[in-house]
Amino acid sequence: MRRLSFEERRSELLDAAVRVIGRDGLAAATTRAIVAEADMPLGAFHYVFASRDDLLVAVIDHVTEQERLAAWIDAGADENTDPADADAPTPGVAEILTRGLDGYLRLLVSAPERELALLDVAAHAMRHDPAAVERQWQTYRIAARASLEYAADLARITWTLPLDDLAWSLASCLDGLTLSWLTARDADAARTHIRFLAAAFAAHAIPRKETPDAD
């Protein structure tokens, strides 16, 4: 039997749940099916999660955080700039948003089962637990807000609209991008849309007023 830490066991169970839900649907994602997918005994599930509902809440946070981190890594990366060069030009916010959204798209293309799992969880909650689906979308909006804050820091800009309003719009745009790609699997069309979105959000940014250093 493999010896895993609590966090390793939790992460493997979450990944297994995403695979089962994305492949077979939420109804098939019983605790027994999930532990079988993770190659763990049933007792391992109850050691980590209080219930299946507890696991589903954790799946939403787990996948959303992975997507956000992928977008952040891409947003902050510039293959043409030396990170040690303090005098390098600051990238524009449209460029940063494009990189981040491209990173999200690459993760979506490489593992569509993640989004299929989230959609299945959401559809179930819309019928049976509206409060749960609102919490799910609140998680998305929180992640969108954090991403916009990160982009603003990288580009040294200030958003001209309330950040919560922009986050709501960004989360909604990502919903549309995700559903469109899952339906058509057209990455070129998705990248064209990403550039449109980046330009649209960049229109609501102004250069940040830097505070002079105190003597």
B/e letters for 171-187, b = 16+ CB within 10 Å, e = fewer, are bebbeebbeebeeeeee
Beta strands 157-159 and 205-207 are antiparallel
pLDDT at 53 over 60: yes
Task: Between 7 and 77, name the one with better pLDDT.
Answer: 7
- If one counts every other C-beta atom within 10 angstroms of the C-beta of residue 211, the result is 6
Dist CA 59 CA 65 (whole Å):
10
pLDDT at 134 over 50: yes
Contacts of residue 103, defined as CB under 8 A and 6 or more positions apart, other chains included, come to 70, 71, 72, 73, 74, 75
Cα-based distances in Å from 163 to 24, 50, 100, 148: 37, 35, 17, 8
pLDDT at 82 over 90: no
What residue segments make up the domains of the chain, in order of their start?
Answer: 1-49, 53-207
Rg of the chain taking only CA atoms, in angstroms: 20
pLDDT given at position 3: 78
Nearest to 175 by CA among 215, 121, 129, 118: 118
Instruction: Supply the CATH classification number for the domain 53-207.
Output: 1.10.357
- The residue assigned the tokens 């807000």 is 145
Mean pLDDT, all residues of the chain: 88
Contacts of residue 105, defined as CB under 8 A and 6 or more positions apart, other chains included, come to 177, 181, 187, 190, 191, 194
Task: Between 156 and 89, name the one with better pLDDT.
Answer: 156
Four-way CATH pick for 1-49: 1.10.10, 3.40.630, 3.40.50, 2.60.40: 1.10.10
**Mean pLDDT confidence for 80-84:** 44
- For the stretch 164-175, pLDDT in tens is 999 999 999 999
- For the stretch 37-47, pLDDT in tens is 999 999 999 99
pLDDT given at position 71: 74
Task: Between 136 and 184, name the one with better pLDDT.
Answer: 184
Dist CA 167 CA 64 (whole Å):
14
**Mean pLDDT confidence for 13-36:** 94
- For the stretch 138-183, pLDDT in tens is 988 998 999 999 999 999 999 999 999 999 999 999 999 999 999 9
Nearest to 54 by CA among 135, 126, 116: 135
